[in-house]
Structure 1
Amino acid sequence: RVEEYFVSEASMREAILNAIVHKQYESGVPIQISVYKDKLYITNVGKLPDHWTEETLYQKHGSKSYNPNIAHVFYLAGHIESWGRGIEKIFDSCIENDLPMPKYYINPTDIMIEFDAPQRLVIDNFSKVTNRVNDTMNKILESLYDDPGYTITELANIMKMSRKSISNNIKKLKDLGIIERVGNNKKGYWKIKR
């Protein structure tokens, strides 16, 4: 069910097909799919065609495949259309299934699409976690649901508490197995596990 996975089958299919057709295979880096309880990311090494911007993706646009031979095979097999409606199909499916619109992140070496869970699912998951923690820990979790990239210093500023107090409560959340740190202190993020 869409409500259970928060990404429709049509959106997932089109996002993966886009990643396959537009990937720069010479990089040797595989397409990466990261699945969390409230987010799903699909990342591939690639770049926009010359003179395209992020805004071009959100508008009606033609198809400029990085791998025209792969695109042609997919077209002949009936998996894609010849004139680049993949992103439009992703957006249409999200609207049809009452799901949040995905976000694209255009980086110098890769392109990533992020699907977010509807707020109703985030709240359901959040209530299952928060009955095991104190008020401060709840507030930290609320902030991390908004932005998993917050640092301890930023959380201390937001909550108007000492860094030591935030650190202690973060440690409790980690000890309970509710959160874990992914990556380093500067460029990492907090993953809410349950």
Structure 2
Amino acid sequence: MDELPPEAIREMIINAHCHRNLLDESCIQVAVYDDRLEVTSPGGLYNGLTYEEVMNGHSKIRNKGIANIFSQMGLVEAWGSGIKRILNAAEEYGLPKPKFQEFDNMFRVELFRVNPITDQANQATNQANQDLERLDQVEDENVLSEKEIEILNLVRMQPSITQKEMANALDWNLASVKYYITKLKEKNYLKRQGSSQKGKWVILTKRD
């Protein structure tokens, strides 16, 4: 399945062309970011149309010739349905609610994707919680502390992270990072492969 719904992207592009101000020499802008897709068209809402009316499905087409061509091509099913189709497509994909903005005589639609960094962090946290549950019945000296779990979370997301980078990310001093890494090594949870700068951390799943 595509990361973003193609139907929503298509509607964003079609709407931008149907409603843009052709007297404005600015171009329709499509911007792709880690967390969202933005389509910005020159020209605000047309002929007294309000933001509330747009969100309720009302439409006043600025470029009827372009809109008619899209309609003949089968790209427009019903006037005023574009916003609703974008919202529905995002909901079906389980994405955050799209954002619609009018500013400086421009109109922008933002389609958000699920943030991969957030996903990784959630996965790391879930794994850490599983570690804690599994360790409830082992000897006390093998139970992970919260600080040790924080280090494991960082390692899961970035195996090549250095101890200095860990200290910066956690806002700890370097000595604390080294102490808890030593504890993890002693408990046989963590080891280092390669050099301190070019190597990587390995989380051990089996311990003697």
TM-score range, shorter chain: 0.5 to 0.7
**Contact residue 57 and residue 83 of structure 2 kept, 8 A:** no
Q: CA RMSD in A?
A: 2.4
CA 1:96 to 1:70, structure 2 compared with 1: closer, same or farther past 3 Å? same
Structure 2 unaligned spans of 5+: 122-153, 172-208
What TM-score do the two structures reach when normalised by structure 1? 0.60
**Contact residue 38 and residue 122 of structure 1 kept, 8 A:** no
1:34 aligns with 2:31: yes
For residues 57 and 131 of structure 1, the distance between their equivalents in structure 2, rounded to whole angstroms, comes to 49
For residues 50 and 41 of structure 1, the distance between their equivalents in structure 2, rounded to whole angstroms, comes to 24
Aligned length: 134
CA distances 1:135-187 after superposition (whole Å, capped 9, x unpaired) = 55468xxxxxxxxxxxxxxxxxxxxxxxxxxxxxxxxxxxxxxxxxxxxxxxx
For residues 131 and 58 of structure 1, the distance between their equivalents in structure 2, rounded to whole angstroms, comes to 47
1:112 aligns with 2:108: yes
The equivalent of 1:101 in structure 2 is: 97
Q: Compute the displacement of 1:52 (Å).
A: 2.5
What TM-score do the two structures reach when normalised by structure 2? 0.57
For residues 30 and 48 of structure 2, the distance between their equivalents in structure 1, rounded to whole angstroms, comes to 28
User: Which residue identity does 2:25 align to in structure 1?
Assistant: G
For residues 159 and 46 of structure 2, the distance between their equivalents in structure 1, rounded to whole angstroms, comes to 45
Structure 1 unaligned spans of 5+: 140-194
User: Which residue identity does 2:33 align to in structure 1?
Assistant: Y
Question: Based on CA coordinates, which of the two structures has the bigger radius of gyration?
Answer: 2
1:1-194 map, 5 Å: 1-2=1-2, 5=3, 7-61=4-58, 63-118=59-114, 121-124=116-119, 128=157, 132=161, 133-134=165-166, 136-137=168-169
**Contact residue 21 and residue 65 of structure 1 kept, 8 A:** yes
For residues 16 and 80 of structure 1, the distance between their equivalents in structure 2, rounded to whole angstroms, comes to 12
The equivalent of 1:147 in structure 2 is: none
For residues 134 and 104 of structure 1, the distance between their equivalents in structure 2, rounded to whole angstroms, comes to 38
CA 1:138 to 1:36, structure 2 compared with 1: closer, same or farther past 3 Å? farther
